[in-house]
Structure 1
Amino acid sequence: MGVGASERREFVNKPIEDDYRIICEIETDDGHVGFGMASRFLWHGVAGIVAHHIAPAIKNMDPRDLELIHARLQPILSERGQMTGINLSALSCVDLALWDLIGKQSGRTVAQMLGGHKDYADAYVTYGFLAYEADELIEMARRLIAKGHTRLKMLVGGKAGIVEDARRVRKVREAIGEDILLAVDANESLSAENAMRLCPMIQEYNIAWFEDPIRRVDARDLGMMRKRTTIPFSAGQMDGHVLRFREWVEHDAIDIFMPNSMYNGGMTETRRVASLAQAYNKPLSDAGGGGIYCLHHVAGFRNGTLAEIHLGSEQVEEQMFTDAPKAKDGKVAIPNAPGFGVTLDRDRLKETLVQKYS
């Protein structure tokens, strides 16, 4: 298990921050190897939890016994209540490795194991970073549309304030026309007051959804706001375990479920979230740079809608995997290989290794 950092690369002459990934590999007695991934936050802590707390607890267990494994890990990772933060991230990368392993043992993709609704997912592109000027946003949008993309997402919540946010949204909408889907994402950066003020400023621009509009995605405030706008709300990127989604449902706070299996406890937890979404007739999408690990749940479940292509995460995955799937005409095909269907570029990982745990 290693912690890898990507090299610095650029979009529209704007550098993106170096990124980190925690890779967890699990091997069976018969030689099958599955790997999962967690991302970015407190990586040494996540890797230490996996190596020193999770691995000893599940050694010699059958990887197919997912409920038994989770039951054993629950009291280790959270003695009381709902586990959060890096505990969930650590569980996520282990659980994803188990799903990859089970898929390789059975010869099926994770999407097939989840129900096999489709062998692809329609995709949207997260591209509109706050570092871009308005003309750069427009330039990049046109490049993506020329490549066949018809669904774009841009960020709001910049330091210049919500009036500037609204101006940027208006500029992009005017440039790309009405036929292109346009969503916005505040990354939990706005107060409820400012988010509430921003909604009527951008509502006329046919916003497909407003993602993580307020700090901590507070269910009560979000439910109140949702009654005052026609813009659909989405959430679930960072703490999208099933109990959190239940809270949002109880407050009638969101329209679109967006779990991320790299943060919420893994594909086992996302499967629980998907069942809740189906029970409440909610679409299931993806956010948070989950890449290949979120593509499968969008394709696997019949209420799956859109998978995210995050330009920064896409670059990281292109370096990490020798066969990362590519979007074509706004769709991403499930790789034609078992498990998650991708192969680690071990030479690149060796070059960027920060620390190895075992």
Structure 2
Amino acid sequence: MKIAKVTATVHAFDTVLPIVGKPAGDSVRVICEVETTEGHVGIGMASRFLPHAVASAVVNHLGPVVIGMDPRDLERIHDRLHKIVSERGQTLGVNMLALSCIDLALWDIAGKASGRTVAQLLGGHSDHTEAYCTFGFGAFDRDQLVEVARDLQGKGHRRFKMLVGVAKGGIREDAQRVRHVRDALGPDTPLAIDANESLTLDEAMRLSKMVEDCDIAWFEDPVLRNDPRDLGLLRKRTTIPLSAGQMDGHSDRFRAFVEHDSIDIFMPNSLYNGGMTETRRVAHLAQIYNRPLSDAGGGGIFCLHHVAGFRNGTLSESHLGVDQVERQIFKSIPEVREGRIAVPDAPGFGVELDRDAMRATLKAN
């Protein structure tokens, strides 16, 4: 089996938040397809940043290099690609996203060729994951946050995450919003917060103190640029578990987190970090240091597999915006049922592109 063709296109999807009717986060995807001589087609994806540059890198630079190679020879392929994307140091930015596209498609092919899911290829720990829902956007006021959360509970969601660093009144208002949701949902509903790397160390420390008694499940991306030193200082001063890894979750970054004792929960995202091959490295590092492995940042169906595949996998993310995008991209996706998401039965990542949607959402340069 050899790689015969590599394509990449950019697509823009419509999303909307309930009640307020505003867009629900990033809605642009680079969709990569890798075809083999035996007729297998693997799907890969990247999100959000400089999408046309990413698609161009896939089509004009990385794709031609892997033509004729066996898609299952991941180490050989990465050895060749890494020399192109960065001959020195850590690969970042557009290079990393383009690498993610191709690598994810190769894992999809490996699954389809073997008749196994990617989760099974990674270790097959479970056929499902527990899930949490990212719902608490800054566009909602306090009462709307509660209304949306209760509606989601009625649809089978059991764990929730809301954004902080978004309140017009600063961290004091953020704390009030968190406390309002906690009081409404009660003490038995897991609730996490996410600052999207928006707070200074001082702000993150003060906010942590304000909401520590709210039994916060974790504080995600709390400080600017996720500086490992600042995260390490914050972790020593709060009882709230810290998590990171969404946007720059390659193994070198997690090694720095470990060296500074920065985080409690590993959250790699295969759409940004170079693909499932890199996420596998991070997962093994998490196992070595006895850390749970989770998911955040719009990885959707792809990240579901790494959480299910490894025995230290914990929670996968359901996201109000990402779920809408994936329902348009794919003919069907697994839905949350009583707080869980099942890994699709079909091999690879278990999803099929909706070709009509691909044509309707194609975004020109």
Structural mapping, 1:155-166, within 5 Å: 155-158=163-166, 159-166=168-175
User: Aligned-pair distance for 1:8?
Assistant: 4.1
Are residues 1:337 and 2:346 paired? Answer: yes
1:176 is matched with which residue? 185
Amino acid at match of 1:37: M
1:310 is matched with which residue? 319
1:71 is matched with which residue? 79
CA distance in 1: counterparts of 2:290 and 2:26, whole angstroms: 38
Structural mapping, 1:162-241, within 5 Å: 162-241=171-250
8 Å contact from structure 1 (residues 192, 221) kept in 2: yes
Percentage of matched positions with identical amino acids = 63
Amino acid at match of 1:112: Q
CA distance in 1: counterparts of 2:205 and 2:92, whole angstroms: 28
Are residues 1:121 and 2:139 paired? Answer: no
2:158 is matched with which residue? 150
User: Aligned-pair distance for 1:18?
Assistant: 6.1
8 Å contact from structure 2 (residues 20, 139) kept in 1: no
2:18 is matched with which residue? 11
Unpaired runs of 5+ in structure 2?
1-7
8 Å contact from structure 2 (residues 111, 348) kept in 1: yes
CA distance in 1: counterparts of 2:83 and 2:273, whole angstroms: 17
Are residues 1:262 and 2:271 paired? Answer: yes
Structural mapping, 1:33-182, within 5 Å: 33-158=41-166, 159-182=168-191
Structural mapping, 1:287-298, within 5 Å: 287-298=296-307
8 Å contact from structure 1 (residues 256, 285) kept in 2: yes
Are residues 1:253 and 2:262 paired? Answer: yes
Q: Equivalent of 1:327, from 336, 340, 352?
A: 336
CA distance in 1: counterparts of 2:218 and 2:148, whole angstroms: 20
1:26 is matched with which residue? 34
User: Aligned-pair distance for 1:10?
Assistant: 3.5
8 Å contact from structure 2 (residues 27, 48) kept in 1: yes
Q: Return structure 1 stretches of 4+ with deviation > 3 angstroms.
A: none
8 Å contact from structure 1 (residues 7, 18) kept in 2: no
Amino acid at match of 2:86: S
Amino acid at match of 2:62: I
| Alpha-carbon displacement from aligned partner over 1:164-223 (angstroms, at most 9, x marks no partner) | 000000000000000100000000000111111111001000000000000100000110
Amino acid at match of 1:79: E
The DSSP-based 3-state class of the residue aligned with 1:204 is helix
8 Å contact from structure 1 (residues 100, 340) kept in 2: yes
The DSSP-based 3-state class of the residue aligned with 2:269 is coil
CA distance in 2: counterparts of 1:76 and 1:318, whole angstroms: 34
The DSSP-based 3-state class of the residue aligned with 1:91 is helix
CA distance in 2: counterparts of 1:236 and 1:84, whole angstroms: 14
Q: Equivalent of 1:244, from 232, 244, 253?
A: 253
Provide TM-score, normalisation by structure 1: 0.98
Amino acid at match of 2:180: K
CA distance in 1: counterparts of 2:311 and 2:290, whole angstroms: 11
Provide TM-score, normalisation by structure 2: 0.96
Amino acid at match of 2:130: D
Number of corresponding residues: 356
| Alpha-carbon displacement from aligned partner over 1:12-61 (angstroms, at most 9, x marks no partner) | 22311561110110011111111111011110110011011101111110
